[in-house]
Amino acid sequence: MDAGDGKRAVAQAALEYIEMGDVVGVGTGSTADLFIDSLAGIKGKIDGAVASSEASARRLREHGIAVLDLNRVGVLPVYVDGTDEATRHLHLIKGGGGALTREKIAAQASERFVCIAERRKLVATLGAFPLPIEVIPMARSLVGRSIAALGAQPELRAGFTTDNGNIILDAHNLDIQNPVEMERRLNQIPGVVTVGLFALRGADVLLLGGDAGVEALR
Ligand code: 5RP
């Protein structure tokens, strides 16, 4: 099984968490794209979707799935999204695609967050993947110094602007022994919009696709 097969398998498996009449929260990235393609096969069953990025909204509309405003929907029964790293505690690093802020909003608004990923995304400790942090442009230098003070190396994601008009600093080599504590700490830095650590509100279910098929961690 190659990486693409694992992604396709979890994208398909996530459909089991969708119920008739749901408005489905939809993430961003290549795995979420495959989920959108799978969702198209059952679009008659759902009432629409809330997208975590302009890119996902476009793909949903191309499939004829109505994209709704979260403010009008309220609580999402289910949110399905990929991840860059995940632990067995269902803590995540997300934001490789730069959509972390809307992803975090959708995850928080959801009753059930189903995270879908290839098996190789499972790690013992988060942080080998540089932690994405969305930052108000004016605070780039301030936040960069704060990250450096934590022993990490901030790197500006060159040529990238988020859907919200902000920048991303990727924090390399951050020592994340306690993801909940680190998320709280980074959230305190003025100018930080969102941290790509999803620990305070992690996933409820992690579907991992690999050679042995799909494994669900809860
Ligand atoms: C986007 C994300 C993605 O979920 C994450 O980057 C995983 O992407 P892919 O499914 O392409 O590996 O957080 O902001």
The SS3 call for residue 17 is helix
CB of 100 closer than 6 angstroms to any ligand 1 atom: yes
CA-nearest residue, atom 1 of ligand 1? 97
Per-residue pLDDT of the chain (218 residues; tens, 9 = 90+): 566 899 999 999 999 999 999 999 999 999 999 999 999 999 999 999 999 999 999 999 999 999 999 999 999 999 999 999 999 999 999 999 999 999 999 999 999 999 999 999 999 999 999 999 999 999 999 999 999 999 999 999 999 999 999 999 999 999 999 999 999 999 999 999 999 999 999 999 999 999 989 999 99
Tell me the pLDDT tens digit for each residue of 79-118.
Answer: 999 999 999 999 999 999 999 999 999 999 999 999 999 9
What pLDDT was estimated at residue 68?
Answer: 98
Query: Residue 67's beta-bridge partner residues?
Result: 49
What pLDDT was estimated at residue 1?
Answer: 58
Bridge pairing between strands 85-86 and 48-51: unpaired
Residues 75 and 84 sit within 8 Å (Cβ to Cβ):
no
Residues 207 and 3 sit within 8 Å (Cβ to Cβ):
no
From ligand 1's centre to the CA of 84, what distance in Å?
6
What pLDDT was estimated at residue 2?
Answer: 66
Predicted TM-score of the model (pTM) = 0.96
Residues involved in catalysis: 103
Q: Tell me how far apart the alpha carbons of residues 206 and 126 are, in angstroms, rounded to a whole number.
A: 15
CB of 134 closer than 6 angstroms to any ligand 1 atom: no
The token pair at 125 is 């400790």
- For 173, other C-beta atoms within 10 Å of its C-beta total 12
Which of 10, 26, 28 best tests ligand 1's pocket when mutated (most atoms within 8 Å of CB)? Answer: 28
CB of 126 closer than 6 angstroms to any ligand 1 atom: no
Q: Which atom of ligand 1 is nearest to the CA of 82?
A: 4
First to last CA, the chain: 24
From ligand 1's centre to the CA of 32, what distance in Å?
7
